[in-house]
Amino acid sequence: MKKPVPKSRKKPALASAHQVAVIGGGPAGLMAAEVMAEAGLAVTVFDRMPSLGRKLLMAGRGGLNLTHSEPIEKFRARYAAAEPWVRPLLDAFSPQDLIAWCEGLGQETFVGSSGRVFPKAMKASPLLRAWLARLGGLGVQFKTRADWTGWDLAGGLTFADGSQIDAPAVVLALGGASWPRLGSDGGWTALLPDIEITPLRASNCGFAVQWSDIFRDKHAGAPLKRIAMTVGNQRVRGEAVVTSAGIEGGAVYALSAPAREMIARQGVAVLYVDLLPDVTGEALAEKLGAGRGGDTLSNVLRKRANLPPVAIGLVQEALHAGETKSLAELIKGVPIRLTAPFDIARAISTAGGIALTEIDECLMLKKRPGVFVCGEMLDWEAPTGGYLLQGCMASGQAAGRGVIEWLSAKKTA
**pLDDT tens profile 315-347:** 999 999 999 999 999 999 999 999 999 999 999
Which of 71, 19, 76 is closest to 44 using CA atoms?
A: 19
CA distance 380 to 173: 14
Give the mean pLDDT of the chain: 92
Confidence (pLDDT) at 295: 81
Confidence (pLDDT) at 108: 96
pLDDT of residue 390 exceeding 80, the answer is yes
In the chain, what are the domain boundaries? 7-202+351-412, 207-341
Confidence (pLDDT) at 413: 67
CA distance 194 to 26: 25
Element (H, E) at 208: strand 207-208
**Domain 7-202+351-412 superfamily per CATH:** FAD/NAD(P)-binding domain (3.50.50.60)
Mean pLDDT on 166-172: 96
Instruction: Judge contact between 304 and 352, C-beta under 8 A.
Output: no
CA distance 114 to 216: 31
Mean pLDDT on 185-201: 96
Confidence of residue 19 (pLDDT cuts 50, 70, 90): confident
| Percentage above 70 pLDDT, the chain | 94
Instruction: Judge contact between 37 and 139, C-beta under 8 A.
Output: yes
Which of 121, 103, 5, 9 is closest to 63 using CA atoms?
A: 121
pLDDT of residue 291 exceeding 70, the answer is no
Measured at the alpha carbon of residue 74, what is the angle toward residues 233 and 53, in degrees to the nearest 5? 100
CA distance 119 to 122: 5
pLDDT of residue 2 exceeding 50, the answer is no
pLDDT of residue 84 exceeding 90, the answer is yes
Alpha helices in 243-386 (DSSP H): 250-254, 256-266, 281-288, 297-303, 309-320, 327-331
Which of 175, 172, 178 is closest to 377 using CA atoms?
A: 175
pLDDT of residue 292 exceeding 80, the answer is no
Confidence (pLDDT) at 46: 97
CA 140, 146, 149, 151 torsion: positive or negative?
negative
Half-sphere exposure of 144 (CA within 13 A, CB side): 10
Mean pLDDT on 34-57: 96
Instruction: Judge contact between 249 and 266, C-beta under 8 A.
Output: no
Mean pLDDT on 142-153: 96
pLDDT of residue 3 exceeding 90, the answer is no
